[in-house]
Structure 1
């Protein structure tokens, strides 16, 4: 069975108003939504791993989408936080602005979950029409609905 990205989304972990245009500040704002996740073992070490991965290479997927992520021992299960920025967040290494940021934490012991989610997200973000629907969502619940509709179309 294919991984459904929407199964990992929680309205309390979707920020539709990321205000900072600086990558590091915006990343902290979005990732911090995961600090209270029940499966978070150590947020500080998770965030350290996330930043280390960011330093390796750009996590921009193109088309205004980024997927900062960490495969780490500091999460007990896969978790996702979402951030949306109207004006865009500048990712220096990719020299582009991002409007949608998906922060992903996956356990090291579960590479299949990570690969499945990355694949699912890439498929969802291919269509400009779908991206526009995600950007137009007015509430976190509407954002999840738009993702679910895209998954079934």
Structure 2
């Protein structure tokens, strides 16, 4: 079982994301994966992510967006995240989207990706955990909070 903290790296976290739409946010977060050695072809990853509708979910007054693409252009599961203050409107949900996660998934990681996304969704449903993620000062703190909450699931 791969922990979130092994998939999400500090240089792939943007805690000051400025985005006014889901498409803009997904593109900005996805760009954090450009140059990652696990991404062999960023253009193909970008195409795979943009080809899918990035679902947004809403819980307890906030929204999160979980975008992904399945492609052979990643050698292992990769992920990036962004925090948007004060959030952006999305027609999929009634609440402002505050957190955006983007993943590149190789074919062999189906169940691992689903497990990690499920963990992120459960963590974000908890108001206390979500508020802690919104208050994280550094990417390392953000990842540590996700990892510590994941262990408790």
What is the TM-score normalised by the length of structure 2? 0.88
Task: Please say if 1:120 is aligned against 2:116.
Answer: no
> Which structure has the highest strand share of the two?
2
Instruction: Decide whether aligned partners of structure 1 residues 44 and 95 sit closer, same or farther in structure 2, where only a CA change above 3 A counts.
Output: farther
Separation (CA, whole Å) in 1 of partners of 2:109 and 2:126: 28
**Equivalence for 1:62:** 58
2:80 — aligned with what?
81
Q: How many residues are treated as equivalent by the alignment?
A: 149
Deviations 1:35-76 (A, max 9, x none): 11111121111111111112xxx5113231111111212211
Structure 1, 126-135 or 5-14: larger mean CA deviation: 5-14
| Unaligned residue ranges in structure 1 (runs of 5+) | none
State the distance in 2 between where 1:76 and 1:18 align: 27
The residue aligned with 1:27 is 26
| Cα offset, 1:10, TM superposition | 0.8
Shift of 1:3: 4.2
How far the C-alpha of 1:122 sits from its partner, in A, is: 2.0
* Counterpart Cα distance in 1 of 2:32 and 2:16: 13
Q: Distance in 1 between matches of 2:36 and 2:86?
A: 28
What displacement does 1:137 show? 0.3
Q: 1:100 — aligned with what?
A: 99
**After TM superposition, which residue ranges in structure 1, 4 or more long, deviate above 2 angstroms?**
89-97
* Structure 2 residue runs without a partner (length 5+): none
Q: CA-to-partner distance for each residue in 1:122-150, whole Å, 9 max, x for gaps? A: 22222111000000001111111211221
Residue 43 of structure 1 corresponds to which residue in structure 2? Answer: 42
Whole-angstrom distance in 2 between the partners of 1:75 and 1:152: 26
Q: Distance in 2 between matches of 1:68 and 1:107?
A: 14
Partner Cα separation in structure 1 for residue 20 and residue 119 of structure 2: 26
